[in-house]
Amino acid sequence: MPDARLDLSAKRVNCHGFYTGFGTKPFSKEGCLITQKEVNAVFDGQVALCREILQKKTKEYTGGDTDRLGAFKAAAALQHTTPERALAGMLAKHIVSLYDMCFADGMSFDAGTWDEKITDSLNYLFLLKAIVKEGQTNQQN
């Protein structure tokens, strides 16, 4: 049986530019309209949550080390790879979890669970950006 996450045969309902789910009947305008102002508020709230979690977890993952990316460098050394690849492996767990949630037929998840999974994924991407930037800076020196 093929993996449901890869099944693209079902038709998605497009509601004002947002894919709202699977089905054959479109949602009413009142039931699905999201304004740009609301999207901006979601973005701002998410970035604030990402910042808060990154700050909280800094001490947990670095101890007293001043190198914020040290855990990824240590993981890279253990795996004989690059920090980028070590981080990508860690990120993959979060992405698979999000896919599982998105494609869990008949299941719903509370906002806190979505927030945790989305925030963790975004934070790994922010940390990847920092690793890439550090690598580029070191190449220039």
First to last CA, the chain: 53
pTM beyond 0.95: the answer is: no
Phi-psi category of residue 63: left, alpha or beta, with phi > 0 → left and psi -120 to 50 → alpha: left
For residue 128, tell me if it sits in a domain: yes
Contact 127, 72 (CB under 8 A): yes
Q: In degrees rounded to 5, what are phi and psi of residue 13?
A: -90, 120
Q: In degrees rounded to 5, what are phi and psi of residue 96?
A: -60, -40
For residue 3, tell me if it sits in a domain: no
Element (H, E) at 12: strand 12-15
pLDDT, one tens digit for every residue, the chain (141 residues): 455 555 555 545 455 455 555 544 444 445 568 889 999 999 999 999 999 999 998 888 887 788 999 999 999 999 999 999 999 999 999 999 999 999 999 999 999 999 999 999 999 999 999 999 999 888 887
Domain of residue 105, residue span: 35-140
For residue 23, tell me if it sits in a domain: no
For residue 44, tell me if it sits in a domain: yes
Cα 36 to Cα 47: distance, rounded to the nearest angstrom: 16
Contact 20, 7 (CB under 8 A): no
Return the CA Rg of the chain: 19
pLDDT at 7: 53
Number of domains comprising the chain: 1
